[in-house]
Amino acid sequence: MIRKLSLLAAGACMGAAVTIVSGTGQLPGLSTAVAASADTYRQLNLFGDVFERIRADYVEEPEESALIEAAINGMLTSLDPHSSYMSPKNFQDMQVQTKGEFGGLGIEVTMEEGIVKVVTPIDDTPAARAGVLAGDLIVGLDGEQVQGMTLQQAVEKMRGPVNTPIMLSVQRQGSDKPIEIKVVRDVIRIQSVRSRVEGDIGYIRVTQFTEQTFEGLKNAIDRIEKDVPADKLKGFVLDLRNNPGGLLDQAIAVSDAFLDKGEIVSTRGRHENETRRYSARSGDLTGAKPVIVLVNGGSASASEIVSGALQDHRRATIVGTRSFGKGSVQTIIPLGQNGAIRLTTARYYTPSGTSIQAKGVTPDIEVLQELPPELQDKVTETKGEAALRGHLKNTDVEKEESGSQAYVPPDPKDDKQLNYAFDLLRGLQANSAFPPSQEKAAIPN
């Protein structure tokens, strides 16, 4: 039996989605591979011929390991935007990142038509403080064009020693020419859960799903319930906006914290016997208090698992704008001393059996933010999964959806979505979607 090391639902960072890390070089649950056809062997011979011709005749002596790595990565990236090769260093960096601490600028990125796109700047990091915004396109790094780099190469260039600067050339919607932003690298320590009491409401923001997230959520709920008497506490706001994802087991645990029973998420692969279902255990940590979940165009992957589960069970009302739409599952397959490959092996589904791939989670109540004058006509929406070239198609929907507002005002008093949620919990706003009706839960019998 293949040993499962960990479950990762990394959002848009480096093109990852829900990922399963395998302890061997074989995909979990897959039967022995069918022998390659004679035509396949002919194609492999063609690869060998081209490789030898490059080695022998290229104008400069090429680095053979780099050629092999590029060939492997090209093969994987031709499949979809989220399959890729990770060098030993990049594999190690990914493992470090899931622990919630890594070096760099503090941005989650993906590749879009050869340009590095910012999915979201992480709260309280050098990039966020320097003014990098979700949806920005990074076209240059220290004067070097990004066009032609792989995503891994661009990420590698953005990382470096602490306290060293890097100049980002950013193309922002509505700007005629790139904006130059200087960012000083730092150790990025992610406090994945932040909370505060807003009078009679508990506010909990989850910025990423790391190994400490569920414990942080539990501690936040305990602190809020200690500070606000049960008869005074109106409910909780769970803020998942611009949360790109993280560990799948933590997304399941966060969902479970608000659910008493039922399925949370399922993953379905190419073969029927690869279906996996994850269900809630008895016990709601909030005592069934009302919950509102905030999402937007930067909420991806694990964030969509949580919001989709709570929405389907009618445990929470979803407020904001449509989420990113990352609904594919990647398996991380270690290759010994040669790094690892990230291979798309399945899709995930909400409890009602709905795939959010290239669609996203549609909020129960859509609330758009009001942009400040300096951002009007510049930042309108962030493109979602459906805009990525080569993305997996969602055949379950008539129309794929892409593009959703991802702006969150830095000052909470200007945050229209947050204040609308507060008003709903306090009864100052009325909407048929709140409180959600358990009788309308979209769960099959």
Q: Is 326 a catalytic residue?
A: yes
Q: What is the pLDDT of residue 380?
A: 60
Give the domain range for residue 29: 4-90
Q: Which of 70, 90, 110 is where one domain is finished?
A: 90
For 52, the token pair is 């030898």
The mean pLDDT values, 10 residues at a time, for the chain of 445 residues are 34 42 46 65 90 96 93 94 90 78 84 86 90 93 92 88 93 89 88 94 94 94 98 98 89 97 94 92 97 96 96 98 92 90 92 95 97 74 89 91 89 97 98 90 64
Q: Are residues 51 and 109 in the same domain?
A: no
Residue 131 lies in a domain: yes
Q: What is the CATH number of the domain that holds 109?
A: 2.30.42.10
Q: Are residues 123 and 166 in the same domain?
A: yes
Q: What is the pLDDT of residue 53?
A: 96
Residue 59 lies in a domain: yes
Q: Are residues 67 and 109 in the same domain?
A: no
Instruction: Give whole-number Cα distances, 50 to 47, 55, 56, 424, in Å.
Output: 5, 9, 10, 64
Q: What is the pLDDT of residue 19?
A: 53
Q: How far apart, in whole angstroms, are the C-alpha atoms of residue 330 and residue 112?
A: 19
Residue 75 lies in a domain: yes
Check 117, 234, 289, 326 and give the catalytic one. 326
Q: Is 301 a catalytic residue?
A: yes
Residue 105 lies in a domain: yes
Q: Are residues 76 and 114 in the same domain?
A: no
Q: Which of 55, 90, 125 is where one domain is finished?
A: 90
Q: What is the pLDDT of residue 3?
A: 28
Q: Are residues 45 and 109 in the same domain?
A: no
Q: Are residues 119 and 177 in the same domain?
A: yes
Q: What is the pLDDT of residue 21?
A: 53
Q: Are residues 12 and 66 in the same domain?
A: yes
* Residue 397 near residue 328, CB atoms below 8 Å: no
Check 136, 312, 364, 415 and give the catalytic one. 312
Q: Which of 45, 68, 90 is where one domain is finished?
A: 90
Q: Are residues 80 and 133 in the same domain?
A: no
Check 301, 328, 355, 404 and give the catalytic one. 301
pTM passes above 0.85: no
* Residue 84 near residue 342, CB atoms below 8 Å: yes
Q: What is the pLDDT of residue 444?
A: 58
| 13 closest CA partner among 157, 111, 105 | 111
Q: What is the pLDDT of residue 15?
A: 36
Residue 302 lies in a domain: no
Q: How far apart, in whole angstroms, are the C-alpha atoms of residue 86 and residue 83?
A: 10
Residue 300 lies in a domain: no
Q: Are residues 121 and 67 in the same domain?
A: no
Q: Are residues 111 and 67 in the same domain?
A: no
Residue 406 lies in a domain: no
Long-range interactions of 219-226: CB distance < 8 A, separation 24+:
219/193, 220/193, 220/194, 220/195, 221/257, 221/285, 221/286, 223/195, 224/195, 224/197
Q: Are residues 64 and 140 in the same domain?
A: no
Indicate the number of domains in the chain: 2
